[in-house]
Amino acid sequence: MEKFTITQLERISELGGDSSLTEREFTDKTERDLVFRQAEKDLVRACRGRIKELLMDKHMTDSVTVGRTLEKWLIDQDYTKVVTPTIITRDMLAKMTIDEFHHLSEQVFWLDKKRCLRPMLAPNLYVVMRELHRITNEPVKIFEIGSCFRKESQGAQHMNEFTMLNCVELAAVPDGQQVDELKRLARSAMEALGVGEDEYELVVEESTVYGSTVDIEINGLEVASGSYGPHFLDSQWGVFDTWVGIGFGIERLTMALAKSKTIKKFGRSITFIDGQPLHI
């Protein structure tokens, strides 16, 4: 029996073919190649149709839609959107315990000896929420959505540039209720995205930076991670109140909702758009 070649499997995967096609077996190579050519033609036609739908009807990719849905959800809950710099300093990373000896330092894109592209949104948000609380002496609820950069392994679930959405509440939750608030936020976010309670799981994990986290997993894939304080990092940022926060990986979340196995289809790209390849 014959199976699709590696090159044929890669092309089928790129075009969005599923296991019902990739796992087929054939009596000989002639039959295999004949089926492949017809399958490729059908998949290309379907991709063209989805691209036309995007351009003529949807006008926003699924990744953009997921991000905007979460933004609207947060604004409806009285969060304020902030925008902070993409370039941060070495000192800011050091305050997150990421120094030259930390294993995460190898994933940082350094611009020079003192500056890098941010690998996370948290350092800037620490500063902004602290200052807003100082100025108002009121609870602060803010969020940011933007690019982060890491030298990740080039697997199916990682990219060097990815989009994070982080929301954080400072001095808004009584001590001892942080985990309950994180779970409430997680469930509320999934409801806003139309994800049923039986389609995701809340998992408590241990984090390198944050200690204990409350993560959201869809089909075993982590799509968001929530943390809380007081935390041992807080004093370095001049933060002394309770806080809770969740970070959503927008492309991972989109990939999970689309039941796809490849994140690169949903990220910033000049070879894919809205999950569809452009070289068809």
31-79 pLDDT tens trace = 999 999 999 999 999 999 999 999 999 999 999 999 999 999 999 999 9
Identity of residue 117: L
Cα atoms found within 13 Å of the Cα of residue 96, Cβ hemisphere only: 24
pLDDT value at 154 more than 70? no
171-178 LR contacts (CB < 8 Å, sep 24+) = 171/133, 171/138, 171/139, 171/140, 171/241, 171/242, 171/243, 172/139, 172/140, 172/141, 172/242, 172/243, 172/244, 173/242, 173/243, 173/244, 174/242, 175/230, 175/242, 178/228, 178/229, 178/242, 178/243, 178/244
Closest CA to 81 of 17, 144, 2: 144
Cα Dmax for the chain: 75
- pTM: predicted TM-score of the whole model, two decimal places: 0.89
Q: Which domains does the chain have, with CATH numbers?
A: 6-59 (1.10.287), 62-266 (3.30.930.10)
212-240 pLDDT tens trace = 789 999 999 999 999 999 998 899 999 99
CA dihedral over 187, 217, 267, 41, signed as positive or negative:
negative
Q: What CA–CA distance (Å, rounded) separates 17 from 39?
A: 9
pLDDT at 16: 86
pLDDT value at 272 more than 90? yes
pLDDT at 261: 82
Q: Which residues contact 110 (CB under 8 A, 6 or more apart)?
A: 116
What would the mean pLDDT of 9-25 be, rounded to a whole number? 89
